[in-house]
Chains A and B, each alone.
Chain A
C-alpha cells in the first residue's frame, strides 16, 4: 500500500470511526451495550482501525516546554457562577472540579481560586516580606532571603469556609464541583514562622499576628500566636513548583486546617500585637451568625467533613448494568486533626456501614475513602458519608448543626451530605432534614 492510499484509507476510517462512536454513545445511553455491535462481528473500531496517533509522528519533545493537559481534558476546569461574582469576578471564586479529582492532590491549574481584589501579579524581584511589631528585631526579607530558611514540605488542603455555605436552608447546587469544590489540596513547601521567630524574638505580651497581602484589597487577617508557634508556615512551593498567581505567587501564609481566607496570599507583612485587628474579612464576613443574634468570630478550623465524589451529578451511574460491581469513592478531611474513619449510608443517614480509608492518611489533609458496591438496576439510593477525626469530632446531621447554628451562618457548614441515586442511575444533590 502506498503512502497516499494509506492516508486516504486512514481518513475514511477516522470519519467512519467518529460516526460509529457517536452512534454507539447514543445507544449506550439508551441502555444498549457496545457488546452487541462487537458480537455482530465488526469489532470495536477503536481496536480494528488505525488511529491518527498510531502511525504518524507525534509532537517533538521541544513542544510545550511547560506541559499542558491533553486537549481532550478541556472540560476539566475551574468554574464560577454569577451568584459568587462580586466585582466583575474580582472579589469572587472559581471552584475545583471535584468530580474529576484524583487522589489527595489537586493539580495547580485546578486549585480553587478566591480573591478579594483580583489575582495580583507580583514581580518576585520587588517582593518584600516585613515582620515587625512586638518582636525584639523587625526584619524585611527579599524572596531569595526568605527561601534561604530551612524548608519543610507538607500536604494540606485549603478550604474556603463558605464551602457548602449556600446550602444552609436547602440544597442549591446539583453539582459536586459547586457543592464541595471551594477547596483543593496540595503539597506545600515553605518555612515555619516559628523558625524565623527564633531570630526575631517574640515579645511575651504578643498575642496576635496580622497577616496582610500586597494585592489591591490588602487582604488581612488576625492570627493567634498559638497557631503561629505551632504549624503556621510561609510557603512559596506548591506541588513541586512555585505558587500559582491565583494562590498568592510568590508567597502566601499557610495555616494548616484553617479557613482558606486566613492563608493570606501575596503576603507582604506580618505584625505582632497584644490586641487583635478586626480586619474587614474577619468582621463583615467570615463570621457565623447564630440564632441567638451573636456571631462566632475568629472561627479558625474547617471542621471534620466528607463527601461522596463518585458517583456525582456530573458523572452518574446511568451506564451501569445490573450486578456491576462499582467503587463508591469520596474524600474526608478535617482541619482539626487526622481522619480516623468514614461511615457510609445507603439510606440517607438512617443506617451506616464502615467505609475503607485508602492511600496516605495525613493530618489536616484530604483522605480518600472507598466502598465497593454491587449495583442493582433500578435501585434508589441515598448515599451519605460521615467522617470522624482524632480530635473526637464526627460530622453532625443537618438537624444537629442547624439546631445550634440556625440557617444564617454562611460559613463552616459541615453536616453530612447526601447524594440521591435515582432508579435511572442519575445523581441528585439532596438533604435529609426535619428543619
Chain B
C-alpha cells in the first residue's frame, strides 16, 4: 500500500534539493533581488511550492490534527455492474499495457460511418469534417503531411500558415477519439451511440484524415475492428513533452516542470534577474490592438449604474435564426429550410410540440434556446416557410 509517510519523505528530499539550488542561484546572481526563498517549502510536481503540514498549519491555514491520518469508513463498495456502467474510459496501447485498457470488441465500416456522420454529425462538424458552426474541424487533409505543419509559427510573419491541429495531425492517441465519440457525442445527445457505431464513425474519421493502419490505407471499403484499432499509430504520437508513459512517468514530469526554460518561465533561483531599471530591449515597441480588436461582447460592455431597461426586446427572427438555428438548420441541411415536406405530415402542431420538447438524438428542446413558446413557434414558421433562403 502507498504510504503517505513515503510521499512526505519524497517532499523533504525535494525540499533539500531546492535549498541547494537556491544558494547556488544566490551566488550567481549576487544582486539586490529580494530572496524569494524565505517562504519556499518543497518543490511540487508542477515546479511550484507545496506547504506540508507543520505545527498544525499548512501555509496560513490551521489544520485540525485529529483529521490528519484519520480513517473514516464512509460509503459502500460498488458492485461490479455499477463500476462497469461508469468505467467506460479507454487507455491506449503502451509498454505497460499492450492491449490498452477498456477497448471493447466490435467493428464498423467507413461506409456506415459516413452514413451516421451525415445523419448526426455533419450539421456541426461540416462536410467531410471540415468544421464550421463553431465546432472543430475533424480533418484538414492528409494527417501525415499536416503533422509537419506543427513547426509553423506565426511570430515573424503573421500572414504565414499556422500549424494545423486537428485529430489526424495533432492528437497523440486514437483512443481519445473513440472514447469521446461514445461518451461525449453527438453533443446535444451524448452517450447514445453503440460500440459498433462508434467504430464506424472512428473508421470514417480515420478515412477523411487519409490515415494508414499497419501499412494499409483506411479507404472507403475499410472495416475497422478492435484488432486493427490496437495497431493504429497516430502521426504525432511523439509530439508531446514531458513523457507521461511508463512506470517512471512522475519523476520525469517533476524534472520537466522543475526547469523554467522548458516552458518559457523566468525563475530567480535559476538565473533570472529582477530588473528594476533600463529593462527593455531598444527594439521593444508599443503594439496596439489592430482593426478595433474583438469587441462583439454579449452583452455589450457598459459600466453605468442606471436601472435596466424594462421592455423585453421583440423577437428578432433573423438574428435568432443565425444565432440559434442556423448551425444545424442551415439552408442546405436536412431538414433544411423550405424542405420540410417529410417533417410536417402530422401537422404543424406536432412539429411545434416536437421542437418545444425536443426529439431523441435530434432536436434539443427549443433548439437549446430560452425562447417563449410563442416566439419559438414563430421561429418554426420562419424555417418551414423557406424564407431563410
Bound: A370/B1 CA distance, A: 49
Please give the distance in Å from B31's CB to the nearest CB on chain A: 12
Bound: A111/B5 CA distance, A: 37
Bound: A229/B75 CA distance, A: 20
Query: In the assembled complex, which residues on chain B have CB atoms less than 8 Å from the CB atom of A207?
Result: 247, 249-250
Known: A71-B307, A434-B284. A393 touches B247 (CB 8 A): no
**Of B71, B239, B266, which is in contact with the most chain A CB atoms at under 10 Å from its CB?**
B266
Instruction: State whether B307 touches A72 (Cβ < 8 A).
Output: yes
Number of A-B residue pairs at CB separation under 8 A = 433
- Is A51 at the interface (CB under 8 A from chain B)? no
Query: In the assembled complex, which residues on chain A have CB atoms less than 8 Å from the CB atom of B78?
Result: 130, 132, 138-140
Interface string of A95-115 (1 = CB under 8 A from B): 000011000000000000000
- Is A307 at the interface (CB under 8 A from chain B)? no
What range describes how many residues of A lie at the interface?
Answer: 35 or more
What range describes how many residues of B lie at the interface?
Answer: 35 or more
Instruction: State whether A429 touches B289 (Cβ < 8 A).
Output: yes
- Is B47 at the interface (CB under 8 A from chain A)? yes
Please give the distance in Å from A177's CB to the nearest CB on chain B: 7
Residue among B43, B270, B306 making CB contact with A72, cutoff 8 Å: B306
Interface string of B20-47 (1 = CB under 8 A from A): 0010010000000010111110011111
- Is B158 at the interface (CB under 8 A from chain A)? yes
Bound: A388/B136 CA distance, A: 37
- Is B382 at the interface (CB under 8 A from chain A)? no
- Is A432 at the interface (CB under 8 A from chain B)? yes
Instruction: State whether B287 touches A430 (Cβ < 8 A).
Output: yes
Residue among A206, A212, A226, A280 making CB contact with B45, cutoff 8 Å: A226
Bound: A327/B363 CA distance, A: 53
Residue among A140, A146, A175 making CB contact with B297, cutoff 8 Å: A175
- Please, which residue of chain B has its CB at the minimum distance from the CB of A301? B46
Instruction: State whether A341 touches B89 (Cβ < 8 A).
Output: no
Instruction: State whether B86 touches A268 (Cβ < 8 A).
Output: yes
- Is B341 at the interface (CB under 8 A from chain A)? no
Instruction: State whether A289 touches B165 (Cβ < 8 A).
Output: yes
Known: A173-B294, A226-B250. A294 touches B74 (CB 8 A): no
- Is B357 at the interface (CB under 8 A from chain A)? no
- Please, which residue of chain B has its CB at the minimum distance from the CB of A205? B247
Known: A207-B250, A392-B269. A198 touches B72 (CB 8 A): yes
Instruction: State whether B368 touches A408 (Cβ < 8 A).
Output: no
Query: In the assembled complex, which residues on chain A have CB atoms less than 8 Å from the CB atom of B47?
Result: 301, 336, 391
**Of A99, A170, A348, A392, which is in contact with the most chain B CB atoms at under 10 Å from its CB?**
A392
- Please, which residue of chain B has its CB at the minimum distance from the CB of A349? B280
- Please, which residue of chain A has its CB at the minimum distance from the CB of B180? A280
- Is A55 at the interface (CB under 8 A from chain B)? no
Known: A229-B4, A314-B303. A389 touches B36 (CB 8 A): yes
Query: In the assembled complex, which residues on chain A have CB atoms less than 8 Å from the CB atom of B91?
Result: 273, 275-278
Query: In the assembled complex, which residues on chain A have CB atoms less than 8 Å from the CB atom of B66?
Result: 150
- Is B314 at the interface (CB under 8 A from chain A)? no
Query: In the assembled complex, which residues on chain A have CB atoms less than 8 Å from the CB atom of B241?
Result: 294-297
Please give the distance in Å from B294's CB to the nearest CB on chain A: 5
Q: Which of A304-330 contact B (CB under 8 A)?
A: 314-315
- Is B104 at the interface (CB under 8 A from chain A)? no
- Is B226 at the interface (CB under 8 A from chain A)? no
- Is B101 at the interface (CB under 8 A from chain A)? yes
Instruction: State whether B254 touches A291 (Cβ < 8 A).
Output: no
Query: In the assembled complex, which residues on chain B have CB atoms less than 8 Å from the CB atom of A138?
Result: 77-78, 83
Bound: A434/B287 CA distance, A: 9
Interface string of B204-234 (1 = CB under 8 A from A): 0000000000000000000000000000000
Instruction: State whether A300 touches B257 (Cβ < 8 A).
Output: yes
Stretch of B107-115, B271-279, B332-340 at the chain-chain interface: B271-279
Instruction: State whether B265 touches A291 (Cβ < 8 A).
Output: no
Instruction: State whether B294 touches A83 (Cβ < 8 A).
Output: yes
Query: In the assembled complex, which residues on chain B have CB atoms less than 8 Å from the CB atom of A63?
Result: none
Bound: A129/B293 CA distance, A: 44
A-B contacts besides A138-B83, A293-B151, 10 pairs, CB < 8 Å:
A90-B368, A91-B187, A150-B70, A216-B184, A284-B167, A293-B150, A350-B280, A391-B43, A394-B267, A430-B286
Could you write out 15 A-B pairs with CB less than 8 Å apart? Answer: A82-B296, A117-B187, A130-B82, A150-B72, A174-B293, A198-B71, A204-B1, A227-B45, A257-B46, A275-B96, A295-B170, A296-B242, A397-B280, A400-B264, A408-B162
